[in-house]
Structure 1
Amino acid sequence: MYKNKAKDGRNNVCGHKIKEIREKLPEKTSQRKLADMLQMAGIDVDKNAVQRIENGKRFVTDIELKVIAEVLRVSYQELLDD
């Protein structure tokens, strides 16, 4: 049987890494600020969506993953590595 969830039951494998990178940014970056940055880059997400992504409760599309990586200035592979 196929499952569209990570081994730990989360809906994505990148959320925890996104949170980790966001919290380590030189300029303090809240979830709201990250959402604003993503909106400026063309992805329609709000603070609640960022929160759900970081908590693993929301799926992340490949398009979103690419833009998130660009905004955070990391490779998409870094976001996917456990």
Structure 2
Amino acid sequence: MRETNMFKLKTTLGTNNICGPNLIRIRHEKGLSQRQLAKNLQIAGYDVDHHFIRRIENGERFVTDMELVALAKVLQVEITDLIDPTIPVAVQKDSL
């Protein structure tokens, strides 16, 4: 069997995204629970639930560019408000 090498991007903290901490902060500033934010995303046409929000905020979930756009639109913020460029990213090499 042939060995395949894959690279995974994670922060140096081991999280899968760099927007979780800012998502928490912005959501709290707007007085929204995870369920309320998920409901607002659903009303806007995005099929998500509160687990989607929780996993992003906990750094368990990778976030696509389309998801960043959706979050920014629903929260009425700029995409750059969600991204924290100060969180260092490290490339980890995994083999399958």
Is the structural similarity TM-score above 0.5?
yes
By how many angstroms is 1:78 displaced? 1.3
SS at match of 2:11: coil
Higher helix content, 1 or 2: 1
In structure 1, the gaps of 5 or more residues are none
Find the aligned partners of 2:16 and 2:35 in 1 and give their Cα distance: 21
Which residue among 20, 25, 30 is the counterpart of 1:15? 20
Q: TM-score normalised to the size of structure 2?
A: 0.76
Larger Rg belongs to? 2
Q: Alignment RMSD, CA only?
A: 1.4
SS at match of 1:3: strand
Q: Percent identity?
A: 50
In structure 2, the gaps of 5 or more residues are 1-5, 87-96
Q: TM-score normalised to the size of structure 1?
A: 0.87
Find the aligned partners of 2:73 and 2:15 in 1 and give their Cα distance: 23
Q: How many residues align?
A: 80
Matches within 5 A, 1:15-54: 15-25=20-30, 28-54=31-57
Higher strand content, 1 or 2: 2
Find the aligned partners of 1:31 and 1:64 in 2 and give their Cα distance: 15
